[in-house]
């Protein structure tokens, strides 16, 4: 049996994602918010009629994980859940949630820029295209 871990696409994607997340955690630490929480706030701000399912789909996470993320954001006072019916809550940012997004926007933009700093536009497009193909493979 050969040892293929280092040449495994899944391993390399996961390894890279872990490095990005670890660094992003450090960048966001002073705002007392995790990358997934920050992403959820961004989705809530810019998407229409946001609920837990929509956030889970966009972040490709299970509803339980998103439920914990939203509970944490609600506890911090960053979001409000408005019950529409027995099964659906729409989620909105509070003024505190807006403030944390605004305070962290520059550092997040800088971080996102750094991730691709030594890549040209064609390389970035190609990476995105390839990652979308890999994601498609996992859906089928």
- For position 79, what pLDDT does the model report? 96
The whole-angstrom separation of Cα 93 and Cα 79 is 4
DSSP letter at 78 equals S
Q: How confident is the model at residue 5 (pLDDT cuts 50, 70, 90)?
A: confident
Give the pTM.
0.84
Q: How confident is the model at residue 31 (pLDDT cuts 50, 70, 90)?
A: very high
* Cα separation values, 135 from 31, 60, 65, 115, Å: 31, 10, 19, 20
Per DSSP, helices labelled H in 1-140 are: 9-28, 35-46, 52-59, 63-75, 95-115, 121-139
End-to-end CA distance of the chain: 28
Say yes or no to pLDDT of 94 above 90.
yes
* CA nearest neighbour of 115 among 37, 22, 47: 22
């Amino acid at each position: 049996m050969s040892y293929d871990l280092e040449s495994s696409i899944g391993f390399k994607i996961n390894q890279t994602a872990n490095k990005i997340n670890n660094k992003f955690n450090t960048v966001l630490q002073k705002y007392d918010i995790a990358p997934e929480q920050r992403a959820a706030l961004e989705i809530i701000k810019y998407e229409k009629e946001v609920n837990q399912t929509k956030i889970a789909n966009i972040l490709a996470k299970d509803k339980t994980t998103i439920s914990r993320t939203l509970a944490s954001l609600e506890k911090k006072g960053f979001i409000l859940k408005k019950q529409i019916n027995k099964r659906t809550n729409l989620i909105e940012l509070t003024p505190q949630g807006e403030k944390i997004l605004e305070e962290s926007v520059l550092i997040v933009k800088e971080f996102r820029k750094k991730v691709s700093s030594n890549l040209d536009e064609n390389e970035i497009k190609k990476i995105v295209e390839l990652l979308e193909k890999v994601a498609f493979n996992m859906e089928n």
